[in-house]
Amino acid sequence: MINRFDVEGFITGFGNPVWAETHEPATVTAPAVKVLVEAGAKCVGKLHMDELAYSINGENKHYGTPVNPAAPNRIPGGSSSGSAVAVAANCVDFSLGTDTGGSVRVPAAFCGILGFRPSHGAISVSGVLPMAQSFDTVGWFAKDPKTLRQVGHALLQLPYSDSKQPRRVLIADDCFKLSLIPNEDVVGAVIRSVQKLLGRQVLQYINLGDFIRRNVPSLKELEKEISNGSPIGALTLLRTAMQLLQRWEFKENHQEWLENAKPDLSSDIAARVQAALDMKGDQVSLVQQIRNEARFAINDLLKNDTILVMPTVPDIPPKLGIKADFPDEFRARAFDLLSVSGMSGCCQVSVPVGEYNNVPTAVSLLAKRGSDRFLLDTVLTAYPTIQEEAKGASDRFSAEAAEMAKEKGNASFKEKDYKKAISHYTDAIRMDENNATFYNNRAMAYLQLCSFQEAEADCTKALGLDKKSVKAYLRRGTAREFLGYYKEANDDFRQAQILEPTNKTASEALARLKKLLI
């Protein structure tokens, strides 16, 4: 669990050393932690988090950045970064985190694991350092849906009930258009899974932004206050309302300590904290009204066992150390998506769905507030099929990307840039190591550079995949002839001639080698 939960006898550090220095050890363990220990879990430690839980990056300038096991050169996501990384790295079976604006869902998506944000108010946040009470939740991570469900049942104290199937599955079309990840295969994996498990009749499509604009009338008033005359999207307005209320509540919770302790904060978090401290209270009643309207409207949309499908985040995790454009652009698009459950109080689970550019991708399933058991049961049922469909989609994407890399290699070869051709063919092999043509083509480029041993090895690999490849026999024969392995070269050219009796290259080579072998 991250260092935001009280454990008796330990200081709750909140991701900042000054906070730890200015607070005493906890005298009582948080109920969320206690109930899990009583259910048989073992508490093995506290984990890193973003300072004051005010970031979704997962980076911490004081304690370092946990390494994302799924993409080591990219950020792990936050603020519950340590918890997500511990699960993704198989250090623990599950881990607790907190989710105010997205701090479980984002790192779950970035690390390729399951992350559950429960209905707001469903789990006690007593003994958890407050960030913004209107949105604070205790969430958790797991690698498999059975563990996710088991932890959820313990935390939520759910009585037994029969599991229910979704009666309607809504695909938020406009939300997927916000994503920079090609979503045909990502959302397609979910759609195909729904069709297999429940049938086509349960699937419907919705423009969620249009629905919110129609059913949350107070957004118009906010738009008047913040717009410079240009129209603002409904999801962006919803995100703005959430961020304003979050700032206000953060200020109410921590202004006194911030002004007295004057902690050293990273620049991006310091800017957010200052924006919170500078906020006036004149918009609070309006954004609270927007929250109330959104809560009613979205929960009404999801009544009668409905599941909403949307992206968890709008892009793959940014690379480590990128500061220039990431905060504003990525955070804005991310919170357009994350604000839906934040402002509605709905439960949401982030589910890994294959990879894009060798980095995890995810989708989210949402259910109405109070339907946590229903959502956990849905994930348990649907997860294996979603993973199966995602793997098929990932394999198709890899095959297409590999073919594209091969074509780039062919173009470089024609331009006689053989080193570049080898690089492209190597990329193709990395994406599809069972394609004989890729090894054959790389061998051809190696021959041009007189790299005969590498060419021989590639042809041998190609023949292991396709024993009737005439090109592989010819190119390996050529490599072996230059290496002085005349008998082996002769055997290769002979086999090429057997497979293709009219092959002129094989005939000429055999005639040439005949003189050398006398």
pLDDT digits (tens, 9 = 90+) for 16-39: 999 999 999 999 999 999 999 999
Query: CA geometry: angle at 296 spanning 292 and 298, to 5°?
Result: 115
Which has more confidence, 504 or 162?
504
Domain edges within the chain = 17-396, 434-517
pLDDT digits (tens, 9 = 90+) for 382-420: 999 999 988 876 666 667 778 888 999 999 999 999 999
| Residue whose entry in the numeric block shows the structure tokens 């350092």 | 129
Instruction: Please state, in angstroms and rounded to a whole number, the distance separating the CA atoms of residues 400 and 394.
Output: 10
Is a pLDDT exceeding 60 seen at residue 260?
yes
Instruction: Please state, in angstroms and rounded to a whole number, the distance separating the CA atoms of residues 241 and 219.
Output: 8
Q: What's residue 321's pLDDT?
A: 80
Instruction: Please state, in angstroms and rounded to a whole number, the distance separating the CA atoms of residues 448 and 442.
Output: 10
Q: What percent of the chain has pLDDT over 90?
A: 86
Q: Which residues contact 103 (CB under 8 A, 6 or more apart)?
A: 50, 53, 56, 78, 79, 80, 97, 139
Is a pLDDT exceeding 60 seen at residue 88?
yes
Q: How confident is the model at residue 330 (pLDDT cuts 50, 70, 90)?
A: confident
CATH architecture designation of domain 17-396? Alpha-Beta Complex (3.90)
Question: Which tokens sit at 195?
Answer: 């069709």
User: Which of 513, 119, 174 is closest to 347 using CA atoms?
Assistant: 119
Q: What's residue 306's pLDDT?
A: 98
Q: Is 159 exposed, middle or buried (0-12, 13-18, 19+ CB in 10 A)?
A: exposed
Q: What's residue 404's pLDDT?
A: 84
Is a pLDDT exceeding 60 seen at residue 326?
no
Q: How far apart are the first and last CA of the chain?
A: 76
Q: How confident is the model at residue 161 (pLDDT cuts 50, 70, 90)?
A: confident
User: Which of 145, 123, 122, 173 is closest to 1 using CA atoms?
Assistant: 123
Is a pLDDT exceeding 90 seen at residue 243?
yes
Give the strand pairing for 138-142 and 114-117: antiparallel
- Is 156:118 a contact under the CB 8 Å cutoff? yes
User: Which of 412, 431, 428 is closest to 420 using CA atoms?
Assistant: 412
Instruction: Please state, in angstroms and rounded to a whole number, the distance separating the CA atoms of residues 448 and 433.
Output: 22
User: Which of 349, 402, 274 is closest to 114 using CA atoms?
Assistant: 349
Q: What's residue 185's pLDDT?
A: 67
Q: How far is CA 338 from CA 17, 214, 243, 334, in A?
A: 29, 19, 11, 6
For residue 277, the 8-state DSSP code is H
Question: Which tokens sit at 8?
Answer: 């008796």
Instruction: Please state, in angstroms and rounded to a whole number, the distance separating the CA atoms of residues 281 and 498.
Output: 86
Q: What's residue 394's pLDDT?
A: 64
Write out 49-79 in H/E/C secondary structure: CCHHHCCCCCCCCCCCCCCCCCCCCECCCCC
| Residue whose entry in the numeric block shows the structure tokens 């050529």 | 478
Q: What's residue 129's pLDDT?
A: 98
Q: How confident is the model at residue 323 (pLDDT cuts 50, 70, 90)?
A: low
Is a pLDDT exceeding 80 seen at residue 325?
no
Question: Which tokens sit at 198?
Answer: 């429940």
Instruction: Please state, in angstroms and rounded to a whole number, the distance separating the CA atoms of residues 63 and 45.
Output: 15
Q: What share of the chain is helix, strand, coil (3-state, %, to 5)?
A: 55, 10, 35
Instruction: Please state, in angstroms and rounded to a whole number, the distance separating the CA atoms of residues 361 and 74.
Output: 13
Instruction: Please state, in angstroms and rounded to a whole number, the distance separating the CA atoms of residues 440 and 223.
Output: 61
- Is 272:328 a contact under the CB 8 Å cutoff? no
Q: Which residues contact 335 (CB under 8 A, 6 or more apart)?
A: 101, 102, 239, 242, 243
Q: How confident is the model at residue 358 (pLDDT cuts 50, 70, 90)?
A: confident
Instruction: Please state, in angstroms and rounded to a whole number, the distance separating the CA atoms of residues 475 and 446.
Output: 10
DSSP 3-state of 369: coil
Instruction: Please state, in angstroms and rounded to a whole number, the distance separating the CA atoms of residues 449 and 416.
Output: 10
Instruction: Please state, in angstroms and rounded to a whole number, the distance separating the CA atoms of residues 456 and 446.
Output: 9
- Is 36:155 a contact under the CB 8 Å cutoff? yes
User: Which of 185, 193, 97 is closest to 141 using CA atoms?
Assistant: 97
Q: What's residue 85's pLDDT?
A: 98
pLDDT digits (tens, 9 = 90+) for 47-71: 999 999 999 999 999 999 999 999 9
Query: CA geometry: angle at 165 spanning 381 and 179, to 5°?
Result: 70
Give the CATH class of 434-517.
mainly alpha
Other CB atoms within 10 A of residue 7 CB = 21
Q: Which letter, b or e, does each residue of 245-284 get, where b requires 16 or more Cβ atoms within 10 Å of its Cβ?
A: bbbbbbbebbeebbeeeebebbebbeebbeebeebeeebb
- Cα 34 off chain centre by: 30
| Mean pLDDT to the nearest integer, 202-227 | 96
Q: How far is CA 78 from CA 97, 104, 135, in A?
A: 10, 7, 16
Q: How confident is the model at residue 432 (pLDDT cuts 50, 70, 90)?
A: confident
Mean pLDDT estimate for the chain: 94
**What dihedral angle (degrees, nearest 10) is formed by the CA atoms of 192, 178, 324, 269?**
-90
Is a pLDDT exceeding 90 seen at residue 469?
yes
| Residue whose entry in the numeric block shows the structure tokens 């109330």 | 292
